[in-house]
Amino acid sequence: MDWISKGFLILLVILVTYLYNLSQKVPDLPEFEDTWWGVGKEQYNEESDITPFKISLNDKDLHKQLSSYKITQSLDGTNHEYGINTNLLEDIIEHWHKDYNWTQRKKYLNKFPQFTVKVQGLKIHFIRLSPKIDPTRPPPSVLPLMLLHGWPSSVREFYDVIPLLNQHKPGVNFVFDIIVPSLPNSGFSDATRKPGLGLIEHSVLLKNFMLKLGFPKFYVHGGDWGAAIAQTIATLYPDHLFGIHSTRCLVNRYSDFKIMMFSLVPSLIIAKEKTHKLYPVLDKVKFLLSNFGYLHMQAHKPDAIGVALNDSPVGLAAYILDKFIESSDVMLKDGGLKNSYKFDALIDNLMIYWVTGKITNSMRIFAETFNKRNFDYQLDLIPTEVPTACTRFTQDIFYYPETILMDKFFKLVHINDLDVGHFPGYENPELLAQEIWKAINRIEEVLRVEEIYHVHLLKKITWLGPSDREHWLAEK
């Protein structure tokens, strides 16, 4: 054993002790007020009317800009390593300019019933598709299900998913009442002019949004920021949730330490055949480093880059599509876009950012969340007892094994791995819809029989010291 290994071992002991200590402490649940995000001072008599809505914004100077842009050619022999390759970008821009018809696409985007409702001073836009009850069959339970998109996505992500959720399913005794809001600061929802609308504040607002629609208790499915919001609502307002399904279950601040620690004996936390999804950790860190430049930028200076993106549709496309390519394959000539995505769906999503001019607003969630104020609440250290289903994707950002996920999700009732990327609603809506059905079916089962899968699993890692946590759980 050389001196580096010795040093590493000493470090390990210190870390284990540190983690053991930490694992005993669950911070108090903070309370948050219903901040007024609208113009001026709080108006207590805020109108609560739900108003029908149609997308009507026009595309003004778009085609002028799409036909006369300044672009720098990509480097010879590269695909998308430096950002989207200009050959692919120019194909997409040409499609956008010549074949994509906003008037027709608006009709498509208006095909579901849409509404707005004011919450905490902001008009929130949403799709609502209530189930058609079949009078010839015994009445099923109607489960309210909120679908939350992330960044740089929009309600468009769920357009092909909604019809698959909005149907009676043989052998299933519930149907969904589907609600799909544009996140505040995004799409057709209002943006605030006040600083501070971060992850927690989104969660407060979207909980209040569901209350305003008349749902005291509901399901949430979320991806990307939508996933983070879903689990924050679960942490802060468990009583308002039946359960959540998340395609991006995020754990606590010590999980990455743990994962590094267990790199010596991976079999303690992850099945052998899945080890490559997590280890070597350094490869995963490198992947994050090389892909998280945008996140680092937006976590501090969203407006510095937002000005350019909001002024140039071609630049907006390059920036947003870069995320879709990263989630697919940067080393393919088409970045994996042609096989996995429909250009029109990608452009619908771009158009929602373009015609509303909301790219800068939407990026501010990064700066409003990755800061001391938010981290100090230590919400990640507060476990959630809401029944949770987690789906993990092959092409997604980081893979957490069950044993790690259970640091945060005490009622982890369904886990699955699927072979798609970070934007499943565009890439494989059938698979996503199927997974949401499965997840919620499982949660319904658990709620019905009070069979709590997690207690079984927890025993496995008892030696890591969750005694205080079990106590915490018992108190509930």
Are 393 and 421 in contact by the 8 Å Cβ rule? The answer is: yes
C-alpha to C-alpha distances, 215 to 135, 190, 440, nearest whole angstrom: 23, 22, 17
Separation of alpha carbons 360 and 350, rounded Å: 13
Q: Is 318 in the site for a copy of itself (CB under 8 A)?
A: yes
Nearest distance, CB of residue 181 and a copy of itself, angstroms: 21
Can you tell me which residue has the tokens 């319904």?
A: 444
Nearest to 162 by CA among 91, 111, 201, 196: 111
Would you say 266 and 275 are in contact if contact means Cβ atoms under 8 Å apart? yes
Q: Does residue 193 interact with a copy of itself by CB under 8 A?
A: yes
Given 7, 113, 139, 280, the residue binding a copy of itself (CB under 8 A): 7
Q: Where are the alpha helices (DSSP H) in 29-161?
A: 62-67, 86-94, 102-109
> Is residue 253 close enough to count as binding a copy of itself by CB under 8 A?
no
The footprint of a copy of itself on residues 65-84 (CB under 8 A) is: 65, 68-78, 82-84
The one-letter code for the residue type at 106 is: K
Q: For the CB of residue 127, give the shortest distance to a copy of itself in the complex, in Å.
A: 25
Instruction: Pick from 98, 107, 111, 194 the residue near a copy of itself by CB under 8 A.
Output: 194
Question: Token match 């108090």: residue?
Answer: 28
Among residues 144, 150, 222, 306, the one that binds a copy of itself under rule CB under 8 A: 306
Nearer of residues 113 and 293 to a copy of itself, judged by Cβ: 293
Angle between helices 86-94 and 343-356 (to 10 degrees): 80
Q: From the CB of 457, what's the least distance to a copy of itself, in Å?
A: 31
Among positions 273-302, residues that touch a copy of itself (CB under 8 A) are 289-294, 296-302
Helices (H), 264-409: 281-291, 293-300, 302-311, 313-326, 337-340, 343-356, 359-369, 372-376, 402-405
Does residue 310 bind a copy of itself (CB under 8 A)?
yes
Between 100 and 319, CB nearer to a copy of itself: 319
Q: How many residues bind a copy of itself (CB under 8 A)?
A: 67
Q: Is 312 in the site for a copy of itself (CB under 8 A)?
A: yes
- Smallest distance, a copy of itself to C-beta of residue 444, A: 42
The binding site for a copy of itself (CB under 8 A) comprises: 3, 7, 10-11, 14, 17-18, 61, 65, 68-78, 82-84, 86, 89, 191-195, 289-294, 296-312, 314-319, 322, 357-361, 364, 367
